[in-house]
Amino acid sequence: MEIKLPGYFKYTVILLGLALLIYTLQQFKAVLMPLAFGLLFALLLLPLNRDLENKLRFPRPLAILASITMVILILGLIVWFLSMQLVSLTSELESISKNMQKLITKGQDFVYENFGIVPPDKSQLIQNTIGGLQELTTTFLGSTISITTGALTILTLVPIFVFLLLYYRDHLEQFMFKFVAKDRRSGVIQTIIDIQHVVQSYISGLMIVIVVVALLNSAGLLILGVKYAVFFGVFASILTIIPYIGILIGASIPALFTLATTGELLDAVLVVLVFMFVQFLEGNFITPFVVGSKVSLNPFAAILALLVGGEVWGAAGMILSIPIIAMMKVIFDVYEPLQPFGFLLADIDEVKPKRRGRMRGWLDELVNGIVRGKKNPNK
């Protein structure tokens, strides 16, 4: 016997469920966030593990350890390169501080000459700056210790979760089948395969995009003669894993550095123009060609997921937001009651081909009618 509930009661239950879900995600962040990263890496490494097990006859534990070691080595090389560049960049701090003092003096003179605002006393300004720096240093040290502790915890748990998820993947699949009737298991298997393809295509495509964008950024900055061009190019490309916001941070830092080292506003503007041009190429040509339409989310859904992810899990949530919402879209498209939400998340270009296909059919009928008329002019 089916119990019919009023609409307002259903929507109230849904809203309460969403609120409870967000509260649970925040409360158990220390466990769920590494688990989410572990799931993404496990899905990414799954094809490699299958090849090692089936083609090279590796035992499953050895195949998993080999794939995890490869990822750790690649990430370690990237971190080593960035850290070496940062150490070298610290030698520029003295010249940067002198140039910043000149820029501040020029700005104060400009404001005084054009608006009549008297600049503050330099000694008082220096004292306030020193006090602000001391407070900022204390806050920075505290946050650095907290972030380092959290990062070490994540770096420890994520490989463990990846190993366990890959090792017990058959057992987890059988566990999921316990909740599904036998006649529906084929649909569940297809849904799992679609989720794997979406996540794998997104992450692998993102890695390719990062490499291409790093090369373009570095080439543009080298042409402009910017110091540490390769470092800023690679750093900005890595930040593209945070959609929309990452490119803003990646462009502003080298622009400010160029302004501080050269003292010329035009040089900083040229740096921003380089990043804008690369972003145009990335958004209109590189990403559509590499990733294609496998992760077809509209920008509104992506930005909303980005904000919610940042509010729940911070920077890690912003990184995880796009692949998670892509997986949700796959589930929405399969489950009929949730298909309207899948339609809402879909990119508008995903709907257009159907309309173009219908228009193409009308044109074909029109052309065929004209051809038939020419063959039978009496008709």
pLDDT in tens, 267-297: 889 999 999 999 888 877 777 776 655 566 7
Phi and psi dihedrals of 41, rounded to 5?
Answer: -65, -35
pTM above 0.75, yes or no: no
Average pLDDT over residues 209-219: 91
Q: Which comes out higher in pLDDT, residue 162 or 120?
A: 162
* Residue 280, pLDDT score: 87
**CA separation for the pair 242, 238 (Å, rounded):** 9
| pLDDT tens-digit map of 101-118 | 777 777 767 776 777 666
* Residue 300, pLDDT score: 82
| pLDDT tens-digit map of 2-25 | 566 676 777 788 788 888 988 998
Average pLDDT over residues 176-200: 81
Q: Which sequence spans correspond to the domains of the chain?
A: 7-177+185-294, 295-352
| pLDDT tens-digit map of 123-144 | 555 555 545 545 544 554 454 4
Is the alpha carbon torsion for 117, 120, 121, 122 positive or negative? negative
Which of these ranges, 123-132, 160-169, 215-224, 250-259, has the smallest mean pLDDT? 123-132
| pLDDT tens-digit map of 164-174 | 999 999 898 88
* Residue 355, pLDDT score: 44
Is the alpha carbon torsion for 342, 344, 348, 351 positive or negative? positive
Phi and psi dihedrals of 91, rounded to 5?
Answer: -70, -15
Residue 239 predicted with pLDDT over 70: yes
* Environment class of 230 (CB within 10 Å of its CB; exposed 0-12, middle 13-18, buried 19+): middle
Owner of token pair 């958004």: 283
Phi and psi dihedrals of 243, rounded to 5?
Answer: -60, 145
Quickly state the pLDDT bin for 357 (edges 50, 70, 90): very low
Cα distances from 271 to residues 92, 96, 213, 233, 280, in angstroms, run 19, 17, 15, 11, 14
**CA separation for the pair 348, 72 (Å, rounded):** 38
